[in-house]
Amino acid sequence: MKRLLIILSVFLGITTNAVHAEPSLIPAPPELAASSYILMDAYTGDILVSHNADEKLPPASLTKLMTAYITEYELARGDISVDDKVTISEKAWRMKGSRTFVREGTRVPLMTLMQGMIVQSGNDATVAIAEHIAGSESAFADLMNQHAKLLGMKGSHFVNATGYPADDHYSTAHDIAIVARATITQFPENYPLYAEKYFTYNNIRQPNRNRLLWRDKSVDGLKTGHTEAAGFCLAASAVRNGTRLITVVMGTKSDEARASESQKLLDYGFRYYETRKLYSRGQVVNDARVWGGSQNTVKVGFADDVLVTLPRQDADSLPASLQMNPEIEAPIKVGDVLGKIVVGTADNIVLERNVVALEPVEQGGFFKRMFDKIKLFFMNLF
């Protein structure tokens, strides 16, 4: 029996009469004066532009994005609290480079240290956080590498929490984009910290070094970095009209360059691409036939929202087909995969996503199961 194929023609602007539509013409992306860079859709994870994005480079203070991610992870687990009073060690106090100017022996609220780390890029605040979570910075670095592996960051190795120059400490633009995306999507409650323009501690007011926070109202994060070896780096994110993009630019020549080159990449992405929500979590796309069940049909849909990154001109001109499993038999549990949706053409498949049972179906009685088997047998003869 052939796989059941249902053509969807009315769902959220996806049409089936545009298979032969002319493809969008998109210019080549800008070439940036940077060693490595990437442009990623924050919601789908799709990579729109990349250049040397998997090259292992010193990440400087972009490292703090991983430290912040782990902090937010531990907060979500309930293992630490933003109200925790963190004792500042001599090591933290003596840290060089960017500082929050915390004093040795004082007890500082964790939230204050997070602001110092994210807004001021304070190395002292960062080390204090690492020690609070893992006991020592070296133990925290082990934790960073474990989380990097779980996130799929294949080109990173961390030996400290700050990005202070050290042998065998490296990452990639791609990996930094991955942890930035995880921060945005997994811990949105803490994300407003990345948009703060100033933070004052110990009567010292310092600005966020991300120039785009002042230049582009759509930009709301994330982090700068700079060392002599790394050059000037910036991980930025912005949202416009429901589309959120992430850029990571590494190895530019100046503070101004990292901002202007990141802006070029963001403007290109928003000009030519958009994130489209095709289907919602729990949306019913079919009532599929069930054999041998206590009911004859089961509602089929999606376990999560279905998002896709598309060229703007193509957003309303893609076909979609729903391919159901040929024989669906009870019992069925919520979440059982019963088929898949395919968006795009045979030559250009944009997305494939499983469709699942949205309700349980128990087995029917003996006579119901027997009757359905007989009926199914004769149907398969033809």
pLDDT, residue 315, reads 57
Q: Is residue 65 part of a domain?
A: yes
Domain count, the chain: 2
- Outline where DSSP puts E strands in 164-272: 198-201, 204-207, 219-227, 231-240, 243-252
pLDDT in tens, 7-47: 444 333 333 333 334 556 789 999 999 999 999 999 999 99
Mark whether 41 and 157 lie in a shared domain.
yes
CA distances from 381 to 2, 284, 377, 378 (A): 12, 31, 7, 5
Q: Are residues 240 and 311 in the same domain?
A: no
Q: Are residues 230 and 316 located together in one domain of the fold?
A: no
Question: Does 78 map to a domain?
Answer: yes
292 in the same domain as 241: no
Residues 197 and 315 reside in one and the same domain: no
Same domain, 53 and 173: yes
Token pair belonging to 103: 């004093």
pLDDT value, residue 316 = 61
Say if 155 falls within a structural domain.
yes
Q: Is residue 267 part of a domain?
A: no
Pure H helices in 38-109: 64-77, 90-94
pLDDT for residue 378: 74
Domain co-membership, 309 together with 245: no
For residue 346, what pLDDT is reported?
76
CATH classification at residue 362: 2.60.410.10
Q: Look at residue 156 and tell me if it is in a domain.
A: yes
Q: 155: which DSSP letter?
A: T
Percent of the chain past pLDDT 90, that is, above it, reads 78
pLDDT digits (tens, 9 = 90+) for 159-175: 999 999 999 999 999 99
Residue 102: inside a domain, yes or no?
yes
Do 49 and 15 lie in one domain? The reply is no
- Please pick, among 121, 171, 262, 317, the residue that the annotation labels catalytic: 121
Final residue before a domain boundary, out of 252, 270, 296: 252
The beta-carbon contacts of 336-343 under 8 Å, at least 24 apart in sequence, are: 338/288, 338/298, 338/300, 339/4, 339/286, 339/288, 339/300, 341/8, 341/279, 341/285, 341/306, 343/14, 343/278, 343/308, 343/318, 343/319
64 is catalytic: yes
Claim to verify: residue 338 and residue 288 sit in the same structural domain: yes
Which residue among 235, 252, 269 closes a domain? 252
Q: Are residues 244 and 330 in the same domain?
A: no
Q: Is residue 259 part of a domain?
A: no
Same domain, 242 and 354: no
State the residue range of the domain holding 176: 36-252
Q: Is the peptide bond before 150 cis (omega within 30 degrees of 0)?
A: no
The verdict on residue 351 lying in a domain is yes
44 and 173 part of one domain: yes
Q: Is 217 annotated as a binding residue?
A: no
Buried b (16+ CB within 10 A) or exposed e, 94-108: ebebbbbebeeeeeb
- Which residues of the chain register pLDDT less than 50? 1-21
Phi, psi at 83, each rounded to 5°: -90, -5
The single residue of 36, 64, 264, 317 carrying the catalytic annotation is 64
What is the CATH classification number for the domain harbouring 233? Answer: 3.40.710.10
Q: So what's the pLDDT on residue 317?
A: 64
The reply to whether 156 belongs to the active site is no
Q: How far is CA 305 from CA 23, 209, 308, 348, in A?
A: 26, 35, 10, 22
Catalytic one of 61, 89, 156, 317? 61
Residue at a domain's end among 252, 268, 288:
252
